[in-house]
Amino acid sequence: MAWIYRYEWYSGLPSVLKTCIVYTAAVFPCRSVILADSLIRLWIIEGLIPHQEGRTMENIAESYLEQLVQRGFLHIFRSYYHNQANHPIRSIVLQPTVHNIINSEAHHEKACNEEGFSLVTPITSSDAFDEHNNPRRTNIYNPNLHRLALHLPYQFNHISSFEKGPELQCLNYPSLHSLFFFGYVAPVASSPFSFLRVLAVFSSHIQFPEEYTPCWLDGLINLRYLGFIVCLVEGGSLGKTLDCLGKLKILDLSASIVSGLSEFIKNSKEVKVVGPANEELPEYWSPIPDMYQ
């Protein structure tokens, strides 16, 4: 009976809501804190939100988020007001049971809904590295894979960069459209992602050199969305790299502390910049959101 109930609970969703919740459960690790506005931006930039005459995409996506909350798929556990008196900043979570059910049922449906939406492929730290932290050879390969999420643990004092390094085999997907890093940015040997449109990094400490140095971000000529969400970013030369990304539309710095980007943010006309929360680098930083903002 429990299996029948959970199947009906999930299968009874309208297809667009199912697409949004399956995408969310695949991208974000279990028990993740998710910023609602950043999630909505991802839904929109990924093309999950259908156009409706007389309504903005943001308004439509907001209504879908509210429906998923009302149906018990998402839970808002914190809401506070910061810069906008009429729009709260909301943190949401997928409960572990809900997260597992969604991923299980989505897999049962061959990870594809009736519109042909391809599920994000998540890869954990144990998939990518062996017990000695060396890149693991993996048999996860799909030349048509379009969305990949690396769920790596945040490591205190570990600083990520976009410099070239020993490549993980699980990143050898030249057809990727969307790539997500959690915890830290895994090394990449080159810039194989010429089709990449969405790149988001969550809960990571990232450092760019003060003087411009070529990195694999430079090759993302089709990138539309770049997110550093709940991150500490020492910007350095990042602004010069961003100037080269001619198709970039959104730079999402939600709940992040970012230095060295004030000039880019001030002069940017084509790129919508969201955030950052602060530009002063702290002595101590944790990816856990400040509960007292």
Give the C-alpha distances (Å, rounded to integers) separating 268 from 200, 251, 264, 280, 282: 20, 10, 6, 20, 26
Tell whether 143 and 268 lie within a shared domain.
yes
The answer to whether residues 92 and 13 belong to one domain is yes
Of 117, 145, 171, the one marking the end of a domain is 117
Mean pLDDT of 271-285: 74
| pLDDT value of position 30 | 87
Q: How confident is the model at residue 52 (pLDDT cuts 50, 70, 90)?
A: very high
Task: Show which of 71, 91, 117 is a domain's final residue.
Answer: 117
Q: What is the pLDDT of residues 130-165, one digit of tens each?
A: 554 555 555 455 667 788 888 887 777 788 888 766
pLDDT value at position 113? 44
The distance of Cα 164 from the centroid of its chain, to the nearest Å, equals 21
Higher local confidence (pLDDT), 10 or 254: 254
Count of domains for the chain: 2
Cβ 192 vs Cβ 211: under 8 Å: no
Same domain, 157 and 93: no
| CB neighbour class for 152 (10 Å; exposed up to 12, middle 13-18, buried from 19) | buried
Buried b (16+ CB within 10 A) or exposed e, 195-234: bbbbbbbbbbbbbbeeeeeebbbebbeebbbbbbbbbbbb
Residues 194 and 129 in one domain: yes
Q: Enumerate residues 6+ apart whose C-beta is below 8 A from 65.
A: 20, 36, 39, 40, 74
Domain C-terminal end among 117, 137, 166 = 117
CATH number for 44: 1.10.10
Residue 207 maps to which CATH number?
Answer: 3.80.10
Going by the DSSP 8-state scheme, the letter that residue 290 receives in this structure is P
Q: Percent of the chain having pLDDT more than 90?
A: 34
Q: Where does the pLDDT of residue 46 fall: very low under 50, low under 70, confident under 90, or very high at 90 and above?
A: very high
Q: How far is 147 from 233, CA to CA, in rounded Å?
A: 24
pLDDT, tens digit, for every residue of 166-208?
555 556 677 889 999 998 887 776 556 788 999 999 999 999 8
Same domain, 49 and 94: yes
pLDDT-derived band at 109 (thresholds 50, 70, 90) equals low
Strand runs (DSSP E) across 111-175, as ranges?
121-124, 147-151
**Residues of the chain above pLDDT 70, percent:** 71
Residue 115: predicted pLDDT: 43
213 and 72 in a single domain? The answer is: no
3-state DSSP call for residue 217?
Answer: helix
Same-domain pairing of 168 and 40: no
Q: Domain check: are 46 and 188 in the same one? A: no
Domain range enclosing 244: 120-293
Contact 204, 25 (CB under 8 A): no
